[in-house]
Amino acid sequence: MNNKELANLIFPDITKTIEDYEKIYPARNLNEGAVVSRFAPSPTGFVHMGSLLSALIASKVPKETNGIFYLRIEDTDGKRSVENGIQGIIDDLKNFEINIDEGVVSETKQIGNYGPYIQSERKEIYQTFVKYLIANDLAYPCFCTEEETNEIRTIQEAAKERIGYYGHWAKCRNLSNEERSNRIKNGDKYIIRLKSPGNFNNKVVIEDLVRGRIEFPENDLDIVLIKSDGLPLYHLAHLVDDHLMRTTHILRGEEWVSSLPVHLQLFKIFNFKTPKYAHLGVIMKIDDDQTRRKLSKRKDPEAAVSYYHEKGIPVEAVKIYLMTIANSNFEAWYNANPNKTIDDFTFSFKKMSESGSLFDVDKLMNISKNYISKLKAIEVYERTIKWAKFYDQQLEQLLIKYQDYSIKIFNIEREQKKPRKDFGAFCEIKSGIWYMYDELFINVDYQFQTISDINEINKINQLYLSKYYNELDDKETWFSKMRLVAFELGYAKEMSDYKENPDKYKGHIGDVSMVIRVSLTSLSATPDLYEIMKLLGKERINQRLNIIKVK
RNA sequence: GGCCAGUUGGUGAAGUGGCUUAACACACUGCCCUUUCACGGCAGCAUUCAUGGGUCCGAAUCCCAUACUGGUCACCA
């Protein structure tokens, strides 16, 4: 029996050839230098921060070069797939405004001419390639059970030999085709392995876009191509899909670096042009015991991109943060060009860090604070509502009920050169403005400071209310009256006066205005008091200053 | 254990043989400004680039060794 007959025995239903697929998926008609890249996750749950980073870059580079960015689903391992996994990925990408040109757009819909873009739907294509390999003595069926391969491994470990299915360890490699066909006809279970033409003593060199030149021994492992369920393993799927989908750039995590010799070998065997590779450092997390590890889906909530949606951290802020990790020159560029967006920035693989960086929540929050501080009040209002719709219905209703009032609240100390930076996330907004709403200003806990005697507090409040408060006052008048209250009750009306003669006064203007502030808001730290009082209005001010009296 | 890579302050990093007594940003500390907070301003925060050796007039930058960290060695991706 020759190899071709063996191939037909194993894949009797495969009638197309590789050439057929080359015609079905012709070279893309793109400009020179156009990058075709992809995001190719497994539907294992949610999108990870590290995946988002690579998706962001993989989508950005085609955008810069008039190329194509597509989404492919790698679901060849049924055990890992999760219900609604595909939809989760699509939603996460949508949330982060990462748009695809081709690929899977919903559980049931795919767009583009190079599909299907879900690997489990491409079984025949993979098998066509493997059939070719078998027919050309470059692959063979392997009947070893998992127990047997484990056993080989144990022996190799004990003997301190290189681990893997290669050389004389590859028991099924040199079986005769007759024996192979007999065992297949006999119903023995098998997988398909590559008959690796490599030699471990030879070297292969690859130019990685971020890591530069890397040298490896050639692959001589007879890696598994097709599993017993007929579906391919990653290595084969990578070759077939990225060739047929005409991918020019492979962006993936650094955990793939060591598979490079396999992938290079596969491309060489088929005489396909190898794509360019960029292996990205993984995002790390430091534990309390100072050990570094990969940011983990299970242990770290911030690893899931849905976390940012929940917290209400603007997607732009997350993307800006990821770009500062991705390209070290981005941050300086962004600070120098505050009105530009990520789209205006030219990404460079060379500027990528090779080692994984630690995930820095402080930095992210700083970026987010700055970002939100630059938004217009109406934008803050709308985006807070959008967030609250999912996560805080009470806040949502208040914002809708008091629309103009709320927008004015968001505008306090905003329209100025250096706006306030109170909010790092939309989930923090309620805790910053709640006291402006009567519905929330109940059973409050007053944080009085230096003046905490209730009689003195009332004296200040009542004097202010009865003699000085006028809602029409401008800020200057308002504050000069505040000084008069202080003076009349024996407090220094200027801070400097108090500092010169502290014994002459009961306290200073700051102590007095603090009483008003706390009486009105219950808090000792608020934005500008004058602005707050303007919005609170006469009625509410009267009411709130008088509640204290009752207490 | 084999193979591959990485190692510059608390963090992200700039730096590719002299311009570096190591930029910038975050965090932190102190002071100032100030009716609180925030903003802002000023100052501090690596005499040293994992360690040891070498090349050189000169090294964070080049070479070697060691250490440590990470990745990988599945019918997972």
pLDDT digits (tens, 9 = 90+) for A179-214: 999 999 999 999 999 999 999 989 898 889 988 888
- Provide mean pLDDT across the span A169-178: 92
CA A27 to chain centre: 32
Q: Is A163 (CB) below 7 Å from strand B?
A: yes
Q: What rounded mean pLDDT belongs to chain A?
A: 91
Containing H/E element for A224? strand A224-226
- Provide mean pLDDT across the span A66-88: 92
Walk across the sheet containing A203-208 and list its strands.
A212-217, A203-208, A276-280, A249-253
Buried b (16+ CB within 10 A) or exposed e, A351-373: ebeeebeebeeeebbebbbbbbb
Exposed, middle or buried by CB within 10 Å (0-12, 13-18, 19+), for A272?
middle
With a pLDDT cut of 70, the percent of chain A lying above it is 99
For strand B, list residues 324-353 of chain A whose Cβ lies within 7 Å of it.
324-325, 328-329, 331-332, 335, 350-351, 353
For strand B, list residues 83-142 of chain A whose Cβ lies within 7 Å of it.
none
Nearby residues of A447 by Cβ (< 8 Å), 6 or more positions away: A518, A522, A523, A524
Query: Can you say whether the dihedral through the CA atoms of A407, A410, A412, A413 is positive or negative?
Result: negative
* Cβ-based neighbour number of residue A346 at 10 Å: 12
- Residue A497: predicted pLDDT: 82
Q: Is A234 (CB) below 7 Å from strand B?
A: yes
- Provide mean pLDDT across the span A419-429: 91
- Provide mean pLDDT across the span A74-88: 90
pLDDT digits (tens, 9 = 90+) for A383-406: 999 999 999 999 999 999 999 999
- Give me the residue label for tokens 């989508």: A59
More confident position, A53 or A46: A53
With bands split at pLDDT 50, 70 and 90, how would you rate the model's confidence at A551?
low
Nucleotides of B under 7 A from a protein CB: 1-8, 10-16, 23-27, 34-40, 69-77
Nearby residues of A266 by Cβ (< 8 Å), 6 or more positions away: A194, A235, A236, A238, A239
With a pLDDT cut of 90, the percent of chain A lying above it is 66
pTM of the model: 0.89
* Cis preceding-peptide flag for A116 (omega within 30 of 0): yes
State the ipTM, two decimals.
0.91
Q: Is A447 (CB) below 7 Å from strand B?
A: no
Instruction: Please report how many Cα atoms fall inside a 13 Å half-sphere around the Cα of residue A233, on the Cβ side.
Output: 16
Nearest to residue A132, comparing CAs of A31, A19, A231?
A: A19
